[in-house]
Amino acid sequence: MYNAGMPSSKPRTPYHEFYADDFTPRDHYRLLWDHIKATGNNALEAKAHESQLALQAEGVTFTVYGESEEGIERIWPFDLIPRIITAPEWTKIEAGLKQRVRALNLFLGDLYGDQKIIKDGVIPPELIYQGRDFRREIVGIVPPRGIYTHISGIDIIRDEQGEFLILEDNLRTPSGVSYMIENRVIERRILPEFFNKYRVRRVEHYPSLLLAALRSLSPRGKDTAEIVVLTPGIYNSAYFEHTFLAKEMGVELAEGRDMVTVNDIVYLKTTTGLQRIDVIYRRIDDDFLDPLVFRSDSSLGIAGVINAWRAGNVAIVNAPGSGIADDKAVYPYVPDIIRYYLGQQPILNNVPTYQMTNVKDREYVFDNMERMVIKAVSESGGYGMLMGPSSTPALRKEFVALVQENPRNYIAQPVVYLSRHVCYMDGELEARHLDLRPYVIYGDDIEVVPGGLTRVALRKGSLVVNSSQGGGSKDTWVLAE
Amino acid sequence: MLSRIADSMYWMARYLERAGETARLMEINLLYLVEAEEDMGEVDKWRPILQINASEPLYVDQFGSGSLNTSRVLQFISAGRNNPSSIRTCLRLFRENARVARDRISKEMWEAVNEIWMGFNERLKGPLSAERAGALFVDLRNQVARFNGLVASTMMRGEAYAFYQLGGCFERADMTSRTLDVKYHIILPDLSMVGSALDYYQWAALLKSLSGFEAFRRNYHSGFMPADVAEFVVLNRAFPRSIVFSVKHMGGALEIIGLENKDATRSAFASVSAMVDKTSQQIFDDGLHEYLESLLAKLAQFHTALAEDFFQ
């Protein structure tokens, strides 16, 4: 068992980001609080309404699957009250994320190379070989500059003591960065006066950082780099983001069927013929990337793209095979991975985690299911998850069976009561739980954009922040001093 | 540019044009219902609309023949989810194509797309009375005009713009041909009547549904001579909804796009173009209906050639 303390040994009151106690806001929120009080409820209501209209007109939406043939497009839910992170808090988060991403990239290079970490007995081989996202097909290929995860979105939560913990690494196609920017744009437009009182660090340059990182990977040199954003299409839940990034970077937004490979070179089909592509920022999973190598029934990918990548004629971002490093079964080992490759102690800790392959852990989890979150290791977006406190006996029984059938496929964590923040809900200021997803770009160096996507569980008492499960978001302010 | 995006720009314009033209047709027909002689039944008043909309068989399939009435047709043409030519369907596909081409259109255009789509849907909630429908059609036409204004004022004059223009002009040529054909057929069942001044309301309705009533009056002073109306709608180079006007503008868009190595498109367009270089005498000698039928067929061939040369 890794870092797992007794879940009941901790205080059960969630950390409050905004209030120091029942009556006083924390120091860094005081100016904001004074301003909100002075603004009054009517003005806030008008602003909330205005922000809704703006999001609607701009078509800032995400799609929820499976509700109808057209797919339900929802307006991005946005809360007015910003979440503030102080400079010292951010310094630690930033250092912790850089450390983690650096170590995970060394880990990936090792897994698809010499596999020293397995030979040295730090990671059990079956953990890797049974992982759905370990790609045997690409062992031995070294991606440009040895970088695998050019873009990472790391989920951070705050426990009851206010300590920042890593909840999840998203290293495949992390989404949400466009909402981080849209939130800022809206916040500044609707509440310009909020910004006068603080020195808030900027986040809107993210697309130019991304573009520079993508250009630096071009096999033909960065000055002639032809780049595309590869999208599964308009019905994908993150399609808004795909168009947003393509537009902001000024590159083509393409689908798999827009491209062909000829002699290991990838081309775009244009109205004037074929045009060579150097860098593909793909927003589809490995499984669908190349029907010749991975799932042969995929119509979303590009046949032959992996061979082109192997030949060094095209860069794929993030690199194929990155998913094994954010496998939830690998997650408990990340602190060891950091120690192994960097010889450092992790700056940010993991949430205590139980391995379902370990019999003792498993029994303990089964005995305490009401206090556990059980997660399928290869799922994301809040799918395939059991939230202990709100689960029914029938659902718990179902999960016991699922776990017993395939223990490698699940992990469990004691429910962490995510920190809370005030939100403006239908005319009232109410407390809601939230997390934070900062974005890390690995180009010439590792950079963390000062901010991130703060996701809010809009339902009272809920701990699930995913937008597909009724979550909302806030603008996130990292203070400059 | 990306073939798929070219395809979407083209269809985006076509669907919007079709939605707008259909709204105009419906709006005028609603007024005409009030103006026309009383002995004309609802069936006669709505059948032509279903024919122009190319959805008569589907309607009959769904509601049975002889079941034509105003409220049902209004619902079917405006909101029918399984009618591929309903205004709602056109607007949905307009928006879908705009989403595909989202990175190629301006922010202003995209916001207007959302406004049009969401506003239209909002107003379909609740029953669609003739009165509410009339107002809805007027507003939609205004929004379409505003959208095309945004296209003109915010879009780069490159390939994407050219494909948008091509789609819009194509759809207009197509709609105008079909409107003229259906209406002409109904108004003039007997060819011997060509040349006589006929029912004022019918001709006025036809011209109004093409926004050409006033212009026609200014150009022709001897009442509604059918040959004059046909000549005006097909061959008047200054009338922006005439067939020749649309075809000439398609040619302009094709020049920007460039037809190097696109022989199929080039020759298909040449034969469309040849159709509008005829004189009115030639057209009437061959028969207007035959002429329009052949024009529609040539337009369809052009579309096929274009899709093969550019969209695949």
- Asked if A260 and A389 sit in the same domain, the reply is no
B chain contacts of residue A233, beta-carbon cutoff 8 Å:
100
How many Cβ pairs closer than 8 A exist between chain A and B?
A: 52
Which residue in the block uniquely carries the two structure tokens 């509604």? B224
Helices B263-276 and B288-306 cross at an angle (nearest 10°) of 160
> For residue A113, what pLDDT is reported?
95
What pLDDT digit, counting tens, does each position of A205-236 carry? 999 999 999 999 999 988 889 999 999 998 88
Burial state string for A390-428 with b = 16 or more CB within 10 A and e = fewer than 16: ebeeeebeebbebbeeebbbbbbbbbbbbbbbbbbbeee
* Smallest CA–CA distance from B261 into chain A, residue: A272
pLDDT value at B189 more than 70: no
Question: If pLDDT is split at 50, 70 and 90, which confidence band does A70 have?
Answer: low
- Asked if A250 and A388 sit in the same domain, the reply is no
Which of B3, B4, B103 faces A247 most closely, judged by CB atoms? Answer: B103
* Smallest CA–CA distance from B81 into chain A, residue: A70
What integer is the mean pLDDT of A103-128?
95
3-class secondary structure for A454-476? EEEECCCCCCCCCHHHCEEEEEE
State whether A271 and B1 contact (CB < 8 Å). Answer: yes
A chain contacts of residue B99, beta-carbon cutoff 8 Å:
234, 239, 243
**A252 in contact with B at a CB cutoff of 8 Å?**
yes
Between A462 and B279, residue with greater pLDDT: B279
Model confidence pTM above 0.95: no
pLDDT value at A9 more than 70: no
> Residue A99, Cβ neighbours under 10 Å: how many?
19
Among A374, A390, A415, identify where a domain stops. A415
Residue A2 counted as domain residue: no
Mean residue pLDDT of chain A comes to 89
User: Within 13 Å of residue A20, how many CA atoms lie on the same side as its CB?
Assistant: 8
* Smallest CA–CA distance from B107 into chain A, residue: A58
pLDDT value at A67 more than 50: no
Question: If pLDDT is split at 50, 70 and 90, which confidence band does A437 have?
Answer: very high
- What is the domain-level CATH number for residue A365? 3.30.1490.270
What integer is the mean pLDDT of A168-186?
93
State whether B110 and A58 contact (CB < 8 Å). Answer: yes
What pLDDT digit, counting tens, does each position of A322-358 carry? 999 998 889 999 999 999 999 999 999 999 999 888 8
Mean residue pLDDT of chain B comes to 89
Residue A387 counted as domain residue: yes
State whether A255 and B115 contact (CB < 8 Å). Answer: no
Give phi and psi for A476, each to the nearest 5: -115, 120
Residues ≥6 apart with Cβ < 8 Å to A23: none
- Asked if A77 and A163 sit in the same domain, the reply is yes
> What residue type is assigned to position A179 of the chain?
Y
Q: How far apart are CA A232 and CA B264, in angstroms?
A: 31
Residue A1 counted as domain residue: no
Which of B3, B107, B258 faces A258 most closely, judged by CB atoms? Answer: B3
Q: How far is CA A118 from CA A337, A341, B287, in A?
A: 11, 13, 84
Residue A356 counted as domain residue: yes
Highest mean pLDDT among A28-42, A185-199, A433-447, B275-289: A433-447
> For residue A189, what pLDDT is reported?
87
Q: Which domain holds residue A385?
A: 352-415
> Residue A464, Cβ neighbours under 10 Å: how many?
19
Surface-to-core class of residue A224, CB atoms within 10 Å of its CB (0-12 exposed, 13-18 middle, 19+ buried): exposed
pLDDT value at B41 more than 80: no
Between A438 and A415, residue with greater pLDDT: A438
- Asked if A318 and A375 sit in the same domain, the reply is no
B chain contacts of residue A252, beta-carbon cutoff 8 Å:
2, 103
* Smallest CA–CA distance from A228 into chain B, residue: B2
- Asked if A457 and A422 sit in the same domain, the reply is yes
* Residue from B1, B4, B256 to probe the interface with A (highest A Cβ count within 10 Å): B4
Among A389, A415, A441, identify where a domain stops. A415
> For residue A1, what pLDDT is reported?
43
- Asked if A386 and A286 sit in the same domain, the reply is no
* Residue-range domain boundaries for chain B: 1-155, 157-312
- Asked if A42 and A79 sit in the same domain, the reply is yes
B chain contacts of residue A211, beta-carbon cutoff 8 Å:
none
Q: How far is CA A236 from CA A66, A177, A243, in A?
A: 11, 16, 11
Q: How far is A226 from chain B (nearest CA, A)?
A: 13
- Asked if A427 and A278 sit in the same domain, the reply is yes
Highest mean pLDDT among A45-54, B10-19, B202-211: B10-19
* Residue from A241, A255, A258, A271 to probe the interface with B (highest B Cβ count within 10 Å): A271
- Asked if A356 and A439 sit in the same domain, the reply is no
* Smallest CA–CA distance from B96 into chain A, residue: A234
B chain contacts of residue A70, beta-carbon cutoff 8 Å:
92
> For residue B37, what pLDDT is reported?
60
pLDDT value at A428 more than 70: yes
pLDDT value at A8 more than 50: no
pLDDT value at A61 more than 80: no
- Asked if A396 and A257 sit in the same domain, the reply is no
Q: What is the ipTM of this complex?
A: 0.70
Number of domains in chain A: 2
What pLDDT digit, counting tens, does each position of B110-151 carry? 989 999 998 999 899 888 888 899 999 999 999 999 999 999
Beta strands A61-64; A471-478: pairing state: unpaired
**A91-105, A136-150, A369-383: the lowest-pLDDT one:** A369-383
- Asked if A436 and A407 sit in the same domain, the reply is no
> For residue B14, what pLDDT is reported?
97
B chain contacts of residue A259, beta-carbon cutoff 8 Å:
none
- Asked if A228 and A369 sit in the same domain, the reply is no
* Smallest CA–CA distance from A253 into chain B, residue: B103
Q: How far apart are CA B116 and CA B198, in angstroms?
A: 39
> For residue A382, what pLDDT is reported?
66
